[in-house]
Amino acid sequence: MLRAVMPMVAVLSLVLLPHPGRAATITTLKSLKLDVPTSDAMFPAGPGSDAINNDCLACHSADHVLNQPSLSREAWQEVVNKMIPAYKAPVSPDDAKAIVDYLARTKGAS
Amino acid sequence: MILQRSSPPWLETPFEVFDKGVFTPNDQHYVSWHWANFPGDIDVDSFRLTVRGQVNQTLSLSLKDILQGLPRFDIAAVNQCAGNSRIYAVPRVAGAQWADGSMSNALWTGVRLKDVLDRAGVKPGAIQVRFGGLDEPVMQGAPKFLKSLAIDHARDGEVMIVFGMNGEQLPLLNGFPLRLVVPGWCGVYWVKMLNDIEVLDQPDTNYWTSTGYRVPDTPHNTVKPGETGFKMVPVTRNAPRSFITNIRNGDSVPAGTPALARGIAFGGDCGVARVDLSIDGGKNWQPTQLGADQGTYGFRQWQAQFTLPSRGTRTLMVRCTNTKNEAQPDFGIWNPAGYLFNTIETTHVVAA
């Protein structure tokens, strides 16, 4: 992206516009209702996708994983290893291997 | 907002918001939750905040008790995720791939935590205060999200229980109806939907306090990738940072003509002493003019006039020095979890 920065003369009038926070007097709070965001997106199909869909999506949506950088197999193994004892991800040893293989194949780096 | 994760939500503030002023609009304040299981429906009449543990009197406070029964306090403070800027880690690391937008500043309104603790009466022997919200783990046996502060920190008169954010009630995703605000400390401590305060006489051993959110105990919390043998300590305070907000990487700047650089800075756990600008990749630095001080822990605007002498590619850099005389480092910060990045920012431009 190439944007032109305005020369000084054009921005002199814009000097540090304050955008003050307002400490308005709050006297009561109103009950709130919001549809908390959810996602039913699944992982792209392939070897191991059943395991990762079944075992990981209860706690976090697939975009959590899909937005991760490419990582080494060892790094993915560490991620999966952390999810099981620390966050109680319901992952059997066979599934853990399938998930690490899936991640190394789809989001791998040497 | 930039959608980093749908559930539990990770929403990043778009960077251009930071050029518009020091206070981040409420609907653009970044959002980060650990567990997907939190209510989307909160009734203000039945909500209660419990204060229990090593206190003389257990409290169950209604929102009316908090809004009408305690002295009010306002403070401007930056809420910054410990993992802000993780996407710039080299090599990359797992975690929320935030650019620079998991930080936001607001004017917070509420009551001092100290006043609430004093009302309950802290017993001698109290050492920590632990905070919990309405969010619950999804899997059975997983650790509820809790964070603790040392008792003296909790009673320092600055840590707050807030119900107001820039003059309005908190948005639900930012922790409605009550949120802990720990000025100068990472956002992980700013427990959302706060409904439980427990005064402890033993060190908190829960996962999030004793195991999660760790950095190497080295200068600037940085290590070499693969390095081992260092001690890990909890993330705590923010470090000084500064950004150019009106010029982005790849922009064209007129050569030989005065131009304006403008941005924001924050000192971390103290105020901004100075912000310096370099137009030659860090060889020489010029002071910038600071905008109004709108709170020690908040963003501070800065601006400077500069002239790129000739055509070609140029490297702009900006460096904050805080009031404890701590300056941003000129080397990369790296640790295994990608926390507390505060390397001097670099903006590559073309003088044309």
User: Of B212, B227, B253, which residue is a domain's last?
Assistant: B212
B134 domain-assigned: yes
Burial of A93 (0-12, 13-18, 19+ CB in 10 A): exposed
**Domain boundary, last residue among B172, B195, B212:** B212
Same domain, B194 and B331: no
Query: Can you give the pLDDT at residue A19?
Result: 46
Q: Are residues B277 and B205 in the same domain?
A: no
Which residues in B lie closer than 8 A to residue A18 (C-beta atoms)?
21-22, 291-292, 294
Which of B57, B31, B60 has its CA nearest to residue B195? Answer: B60
Q: How far is CA B314 from the centre of its chain?
A: 31
Domain holding B304: CATH number?
Answer: 2.60.40.650
Pair B26, B170 in one domain: yes
- A interface mutation test: which of B5, B11, B74, B301 has the most A CBs within 10 A? B5
> pLDDT tens-digit profile of B205-223?
999 999 999 999 999 999 9
Interchain contact A75–B (C-beta under 8 A): yes
Torsion sign (Cα): B238, B239, B244, B250: negative
CA distance A103 to A66: 10
Q: For residue A5, give how far its alpha carbon lies from the nearest alpha carbon of chain B (Å).
A: 5
Domain assignment of residue B300, given as a range = 241-351
- Per residue in B177-209, pLDDT (tens digit) is 999 999 999 999 999 999 999 999 999 999 999
In a domain, B24, yes or no: yes
Chain A residues with beta carbon closer than 8 angstroms to that of B38 = 36
pLDDT value at position A37? 86
Q: What are the tens digits of pLDDT across the range A98-109?
A: 999 999 999 998
B197 plus B252 within the same structural domain: no
DSSP string covering B292-310: ----TBS-EEEEEEE-B-S
Q: Indicate whether B227 belongs to any domain.
A: no
pLDDT at res. A18: 43
> What ipTM was assigned to the predicted interfaces of this complex?
0.92
pLDDT of residue A3: 56
Say yes or no: B201 and B335 in one domain.
no
The mean of the pLDDT values for chain B is 97
Give residue limits of the domains in chain A.
49-110
- Whether B123 contacts chain A with CB within 8 A: no
pLDDT of residue A14: 41
Q: Three-state DSSP class for A103? A: helix
Domains of chain B: total: 2
pLDDT, mean of residues B144-155: 98
- The torsion defined by the Cα of B65, B77, B159 and B189, in degrees rounded to 10, comes to 100
Looking at residue A110, its pLDDT comes to 67
| CATH annotation of A49-110 | 1.10.760.10
The low-confidence residues of chain A, meaning pLDDT below 50, are: 1-2, 8-20
**CATH number assigned to the domain comprising residue B176:** 3.90.420.10
pTM for the complete prediction? Answer: 0.94
Query: β-strand B168-169 against B160-165: which pairing, if any?
Result: antiparallel
Mean pLDDT in residue range B57-80? 97
